[in-house]
Structure 1
Amino acid sequence: MVTFKDFGLDAKVLNAIEKLGYDKPTEIQAHTIEPAINGSDILGIAQTGSGKTAAFLIPMIKKLAEGRAKARMPRGLVITPTRELAAQIYENFSNLSADIKLTSTLIIGGTSYQEQQKALNTGVDIIIGTPGRIYDHLERQNVMLHGIQYLVIDEADRMLDEGFIPQIEMICSRTSPRRQTLFYSATMYSEIEKLADNFLTDPLRVEVSPRASVSENIEQLVFIVDKGGSRDLFKKKRNILRKVINHFGDDLSNAIIFSNTKNHVDILQKSMKFHGFESESIHGDHTQSVRTEALNKFRNGEIQFLIASDVASRGLDIPLVSHVINLDVPVNPEDYIHRIGRTGRAGNKGTSVTLCSKKELNSLDSIEKLISKPLNKFKLLLKGKSQELRIVPLNQIDENSEENSKEMMDMETEDTDISTAEENKSESQGRKKKKGKHTKRRGSPKPADLESASSADAGDGNMASGETVSDTEEAETVKPVRRRWSYRKKDLYTRKSKSDAAPDKTDDKTNVDLVSEESPEPDGIQASEQKSKSQSKQKGAGKSGQGGSKRGNKQSKNKGFEGQTPAFVYYDFD
């Protein structure tokens, strides 16, 4: 059996490896460390979590331990697609070279440009960073790369997906042609092979895992969550997510929850926090300090859930993640492999859960083709009056179970299982429906149920949790309707119900769609509405005394919209 001592490493490096808990080389390390020390170019293909980072850092430390760097002339360069991965490699390098006089700097966006420039002017042995910021320093002549002896391109397939290849080609063109290059990728396709041919010279190809493979330590579950497309599918999935989390109980110690869009990541994080689940979010629009803080909280166990976009799906080494949950099926099948690769690492068991709607089944089929195996599909059912959640294999559902499935669909938009006490209290307060007619307009979306007062309170903080409003005040309140933004003037206002002017006795059973059935709005909104109403009355009185005016004629053009409340956009935090 190969050990780290067989590679002829310095005693200080061996001591650092032992402190990090590495007892023996992984498969990729055993096949690439010695050839890299001997100077060969490496084309390494291995799945995430296989130890690729140490496989290229250990030879780098041994080869660059002798000699010193000059100002603005580093000797080693590591390029990665994401800031988090670069920061992780930088930390691993610092640990492995703790007793060796090698200097390094982290060159990524979202951090101080001046500090990076200062470090480059002083002189560092190794640069670890992302393509964009490295290219920026190169263009400003803050660094010269013709002294690079050791070049590493990590996660090359992700570089190709993110469109970084032109920048990488420009960076590599500034380096010495006599450099040694190590090229690593989790997957290998014809495009990646062409890219490797441009950067490598007679490389040693090492492939230690099948193409697009998934660790056998990961149990993969797929939950079919609805019977078809739905305008409110995101809300249904959030409610099902909370039921699934409660179902796993103590077996779910922590989890990374992935969503396809940044907007959904933010909304889901607020929803989870509102319902009592400690969580933080991370995506590309967050500053580096916010992303680092969220990752540290998750690593240290301060929060149980990390809500993330695919920025966190590559290369992050977070030990002992028990579950990975895909709220959305990833559009790119390769992203599925990298997402679930956050669990089941270093020989530990892990579980991945994917919530799949019927309209996402095509993407699921692409994933099954990529990994060359079918995924276990299940249906979520509610059992009896107790509403106990059952997970039933899709091929075992009978007619009786199908009836329960319909009942489950009705329950998906409710919060009876995990709603907070404050939310239940607010939902029970004064949900009185108003009567009248609703005049439909062409192009206007159908009004959807607005959120309960507690959701608005959680977002605005303008009303106390136990505060109520009288029936008279509630009847005077014109509730905003959730609608798309439009440049048409009439879409910026909400029509008043006829019941505000005079009750309609002939249509008592008709609900006014444009008036909310939820609890009253916060005090600040009510006060502004009452003030605008009083001002409109005063203006009307003045106009009648003056016998009309130009201002009155202008107002008459907007007949039907006088004194009305601007529409607001509400975020859905259920």
Structure 2
Amino acid sequence: MGEKPKTKAVLPWMRSPVDVSLFEQCPLHLLPSLDPRLKVVLENMDISSLYPVQVGVWQETIGPGAFQRDLCIQSPTGSGKTLAYALPIVQTLSNRAIKCLRALVVLPNRDLAIQVKEVFASIAPAVGLSVGLAIGQSSIADEIAELIKRPKLEAGICYDPEDFAPELQSSVDILVATPGRLMDHINNTKGFTLEHLCYLVVDETDRLLGEAYQSWLPTVLQLTHSSDESFYPHASNFLPFSFNSLKTRRRCGFERGFKGKPSPRLVKMVVSATLTRDPSKLAQLDLHHPLFLTTGQSRYKLPEQLESYKLICESKLKPLYLVALLQNLGGEKCIVFTSSVESTHRLCTLLKFFGDLQIKIKEYSSLQHQSVRSKTLKAFREGKIQVLVSSNAMAHGMDVEGVRNVINYDLPAYIKRFIHRVGRTARAGQTGSCFTLLHKDEIKRFKKLLQKADIQSCPDYSIPSDSIESLRIIYTSALEKLKETVEVETSRKRKIGFKSSKAGKESETNQSKE
């Protein structure tokens, strides 16, 4: 007899999720307990009702659930997850009179963090809350000036530095951060503390749990835990040496800067469009009686208003099919996804050599400097760029209004990546299209990929052969120009590498002489 197929372990609390797709959209005037000030600011943002996932989260936080359990939220991209956690956090913190850091939202990259910060910043000031950003986009000194408030000293009084230690306080109630810069502030910024933290949001959870990111998670959990070290025995191994003294000051239920009063439990909200089922990864979060909110039975779900097509093309002529497709789409806002940052650069360079396409095209990848990416993204949002050629840097969480089409120039290796890519369009109830370019030998693999999302078929999208033939001459010329460009860039990189190597050797020689 053959062996039974192995089944992956599923945590008990994930077996009976709350299906938020069963919730109806709720008009703001019917939303229970919504602060009138937040209602006004939402209406000014043209938001008249909450989406199902937002209603579901509201019920488990401000409603009967009352933040009694940690929440794991899985919902398709574009379904409104950011506002789903931002709104209840802002409402709850509006009752706090003391200015201190109460909520921390962690995201894997700067662009996502900026986007989430903007959501918080659009509603928090209405109830007297301020929002900070710690992502390394500016110098750490500038960030510290934004995050930490120093007391004003009275004029004419001389203070002895040895006797006078000014009390430093947080300037923000809510902080949106990337892991690396968060750890910089934890380790080095005077006055920066998580001792009052009440809410921790881990957005794009799969990515944040998939990489170590300087052990930010065990450090944050240790610095905010409401019990002794035995509750989280291994966290101290990851803590900076300077925080060892904190362990001696902790007492179960009475710590974290609450001056003798029982401290509130640290509430965690875990958010992803494709939440991992790996028990070992989820265990890192140390969740408290977690409640799983999801959409439907399938883990992988495409946006409801998405139309998906496959485009079969000859391998050597793939760029021609892409150009013909872009022309057919008539300048609609598109994101073209490739398999790597190198492919992104070469494809974008090649497209620019196709003559006057009447389409503004730019590349977007992690190889570019942050300021370049931010400038490109701003132009794309404003419609000054119609086509963005991107690596997977744009695949996770990014929300750009008006993206009508996603094009998979390279077939993604995993269904999870496919889900995140196509989620850049058909967001928030809008319509959108996805086109996947395939060689004949990729069709079978693509079919298996879609079956994991319970999709049994995908219609063909055809490009007339005369459209391809008309581009052949231009394509030959563009390939020659691309080859020349690549040779120039390669030569330039070699020179820079040689100069760096030479400078390094000279430095070593000088040091040895000294």
Q: What SS does the aligned partner of 2:49 have?
A: coil
In structure 2, distance between residues paired with 1:356 and 1:180 = 45
Cα pair 1:75 1:125 within 8 Å, conserved: yes
Cα pair 2:303 2:426 within 8 Å, conserved: yes
2:103 to 66, 76, 82: 76
- Say if 2:201 is the partner of 1:152: yes
Cα pair 1:282 1:306 within 8 Å, conserved: yes
Deviation at 1:347?
1.9
The one-letter code of the counterpart of 1:83 is: R
- Say if 2:124 is the partner of 1:67: no
In structure 1, distance between residues paired with 2:290 and 2:486 = 57
Superposed, 1:119-158 pairs within 5 Å as: 119-122=146-149, 123=170, 124-142=172-190, 143-158=192-207
Superposed, 1:40-439 pairs within 5 Å as: 40=68, 41-67=70-96, 74-122=101-149, 123=170, 124-142=172-190, 143-164=192-213, 166-177=215-226, 178-191=265-278, 195=282, 198-209=285-296, 210-226=298-314, 233=316, 236-248=317-329, 250=330, 253-275=332-354, 276=356, 277-361=359-443, 363-376=445-458, 378=460, 382-383=464-465, 387-388=466-467, 415-416=472-473
TM-score for both structures, normalised by structure 2: 0.71
In structure 1, distance between residues paired with 2:304 and 2:212 = 31
Cα pair 1:148 1:179 within 8 Å, conserved: yes
Provide the aligned length of Structure 1 versus Structure 2.
399
In structure 1, distance between residues paired with 2:126 and 2:209 = 36
The one-letter code of the counterpart of 2:173 is: D
Q: What SS does the aligned partner of 1:214 have?
A: coil
In structure 2, distance between residues paired with 1:377 and 1:9 = 44
Residue 375 to residue 292, structure 1, CA distance change in 2 (3 Å): farther
Deviations 1:133-166 (A, max 9, x none): 1122212244221210111111212223445494
The one-letter code of the counterpart of 1:307 is: V
CA RMSD in angstroms, aligned pairs only: 3.0
Q: Which residue of 2 aligns with 1:469?
A: none
Deviations 1:216-246 (A, max 9, x none): 31111112223xxx6xx5xx32222101212
Runs of 4+ off more than 6 Å: 457-461
Cα pair 1:299 1:318 within 8 Å, conserved: yes
Deviation at 1:388?
4.2
The one-letter code of the counterpart of 2:108 is: P
Q: What SS does the aligned partner of 2:50 have?
A: coil
In structure 2, distance between residues paired with 1:24 and 1:154 = 23
Q: What SS does the aligned partner of 1:376 have?
A: coil
Deviation at 1:380?
5.1
The one-letter code of the counterpart of 1:268 is: L
Deviations 1:182-222 (A, max 9, x none): 11121234216851674321123221243101123111111
Cα pair 1:281 1:308 within 8 Å, conserved: yes
Q: Structure 1 stretch 148-157 or stretch 361-370: which is displaced more?
A: 361-370
- Say if 2:22 is the partner of 1:3: no
Deviations 1:415-459 (A, max 9, x none): 34x66xxx9xxx6xxxxxxxxxxxxxxxxxxxxxx9546975899
Q: Which residue of 2 aligns with 1:503?
A: none
Deviations 1:3-29 (A, max 9, x none): 334231222111111111111111111
The one-letter code of the counterpart of 1:273 is: K
Percent of pairs with identical residues: 27
The one-letter code of the counterpart of 2:308 is: Q
Q: Which has the larger radius of gyration?
A: 1
In structure 2, distance between residues paired with 1:92 and 1:120 = 18
In structure 2, distance between residues paired with 1:453 and 1:314 = 33
The one-letter code of the counterpart of 1:321 is: V
Cα pair 2:447 2:457 within 8 Å, conserved: no
In structure 1, distance between residues paired with 2:410 and 2:485 = 28
In structure 2, distance between residues paired with 1:377 and 1:351 = 12
Residue 268 to residue 79, structure 1, CA distance change in 2 (3 Å): same
In structure 1, distance between residues paired with 2:392 and 2:403 = 16
In structure 2, distance between residues paired with 1:343 and 1:191 = 28
Q: What SS does the aligned partner of 1:77 have?
A: strand
Deviation at 1:339?
0.5
In structure 2, distance between residues paired with 1:360 and 1:110 = 40
In structure 1, distance between residues paired with 2:363 and 2:279 = 31
In structure 2, distance between residues paired with 1:453 and 1:259 = 21
Superposed, 1:471-510 pairs within 5 Å as: none
Deviation at 1:30?
0.7
Q: What SS does the aligned partner of 2:126 have?
A: coil
In structure 1, distance between residues paired with 2:284 and 2:181 = 25
- In the alignment, structure 2 segments of 5+ residues that lack a partner are 1-23, 150-169, 227-264, 495-514
Cα pair 1:148 1:176 within 8 Å, conserved: no
Deviation at 1:126?
1.1
TM-score for both structures, normalised by structure 1: 0.64
Q: Which residue of 2 aligns with 1:544?
A: none
Deviations 1:397-426 (A, max 9, x none): xxxxxxxxxxxxxx59x634x66xxx9xxx
Q: Which residue of 2 aligns with 1:559?
A: none
Deviation at 1:358?
4.1
Q: What SS does the aligned partner of 2:224 have?
A: coil
In structure 2, distance between residues paired with 1:247 and 1:10 = 47
